[in-house]
Amino acid sequence: MASEAYKNNNAVSGLLNKIKPKKQEKEPKRSRKEEKARFKKRLENLTPAEQKYLKRKRAFDKGWPILRALIVFGLCFVILYPLLYMVSAAFRPQAEMNDPTIIWLPRSFTMSNINDAIRAMDFWNTLKRTLFINIGCSVVQVVTCALTGYGFARFNFKGKTAFFLVVVLMILVPSQIILIPQYAFFRYFNPLGIYHLITGNYINLIDTPLTMYMPAITANGIRAGLFIFLFRQSFRGLPKELEDAAALDGCNPLRTFTQVMVPNAGSTFLTVFLFSIVWYWNDYYVSTSFFTKNSTIALELKNLSTTLKIVIFGNADTAVTVRELIVWMESGCLISILPLLVLYAALQKYFTEGIARSGLTGM
């Protein structure tokens, strides 16, 4: 019986395959006149309403690709413009900045702006520090946020709604509300609440990377609420059968998480990791509160015009307009975002395609 049905089924699909047109043959190219005549002929037997519809559709089908190309090109230009300008200015001798005949390509190329900017920002040391803070924090934050997100996605426990409300508040509350108490926490750090009792002192953690690491390790770093939310959505979107199967095979939930769920949420991990790196890299609002020196690239960049004046003119109070400093400013920008751009170029394929599956849609 069963095999007969199978055969039948096969026969049907075979038939279907036969009916299916093999491959649409390309229509022979017609001249524009012929095309118009054909279209008119097609319209002859139709009602006026149908004619109107077809005419409109035709006009739209023809016009839209051109309009679209214009729009896409224009917007790409608007986005790329500052970057192109940055590259153009960074390699341009300062004297050529005011030459109205030069728009994009300078007459001579120079590396001196870049070198000055590297010197002013103490670039290599700053880069090392930033990478240490940035990569480290991003990695631990992704891991802890994923754990938390999974906890919210798949387990039922008392008070879950209340706990999740805290996550939502973490997304909503602007960081400046909690920055002062956080500063006090790090400035007068009191491990286990007894350090002060024993020694009579506090530990000053300001200016140490711990101010960034401690929140990141506990999934409370920059924009952690959003990441927990993303992970929760993404894990919720995965089929429950996966875990049930793993549980039947004797996996405990932690092992299920690391060996079954994590591999299936690869694109979310990648997306969150990229966002996390970018936001740590660009952050200056939180880090100005915890670092008194220019310890990260973003902070160096924020104060670039001052440090540039010291390095180039030897005095921070030199009256120089931003406009005269522009070649150096642009050089500083260029070397600061270059690592991000390289990372983005390497990951963009997964990023732009993976985003659709990252669980954003389930919100």
Partner 1 sequence: MKKLNISYEKRKGLYGYGFIAIWFIGAIFFFIIPIVKSFIYSFNIVTPEDSRLSQVWAGIENYKSIFLVDPKYRQYLVQVLRDTAIQTPIILVFSLFVAIVINQEFRGRAFARSVFFLPVIIATGPVYAIITGDIETSGSASAAQFTTMFSTDMVDELLEFIGVYGLSDKFTEFMSEATGDILNLVWKCGIQIIVFLAALQGIPPSAKEVASIEGATAWEFFWKVTLSYVSPMILVNFVYTIIDTFTDPSNPVMGRIHDIQSGWEYGKAAAMAWSYFAVVLVIVGVIFALMNKIIYYDD
Residue numbers 150-169 binding partner 1 by CB under 8 A:
150-152, 154-158, 160, 163, 166, 169
Q: Mark 247-286 with x for binding to partner 1 (rule: CB under 8 A) and - for no binding.
A: -----xxx--x-----------------x--xx-xxxxx-
Could you give the CA distance from residue 257 to residue 149 in angstroms, rounded to a whole number?
11
Number of other CB atoms surrounding residue 89 within 10 Å: 22
Q: Is 48 in the site for partner 1 (CB under 8 A)?
A: no
Could you give the CA distance from residue 241 to residue 243 in angstroms, rounded to a whole number?
5
Question: Which of 21-29, 113-121, 311-319, 349-357 is the region at the interface with partner 1 (rule: CB under 8 A)?
Answer: 349-357
The least CB distance from residue 2 to partner 1, in Å, is 31
Residue numbers 169-208 binding partner 1 by CB under 8 A:
169-182, 184-185, 188, 202
Q: Is 350 in the site for partner 1 (CB under 8 A)?
A: no
Could you give the CA distance from residue 362 to residue 201 in angstroms, rounded to a whole number?
50
The least CB distance from residue 202 to partner 1, in Å, is 6
Q: Which is nearer to partner 1, 311 or 324 (CB)?
A: 324
Residue numbers 111-140 binding partner 1 by CB under 8 A:
none
Both tokens of 335, joined, read 């070397």
Q: Which is nearer to partner 1, 118 or 326 (CB)?
A: 326
The least CB distance from residue 34 to partner 1, in Å, is 26
Q: Is 360 in the site for partner 1 (CB under 8 A)?
A: yes
Q: Which is nearer to partner 1, 33 or 158 (CB)?
A: 158
- DSSP-derived 3-state class of residue 238: coil
Q: Which residues contact 347 (CB under 8 A, 6 or more apart)?
A: 270, 274
The least CB distance from residue 11 to partner 1, in Å, is 27
Among 225, 315, 235, residue whose Cα is nearest residue 275: 225
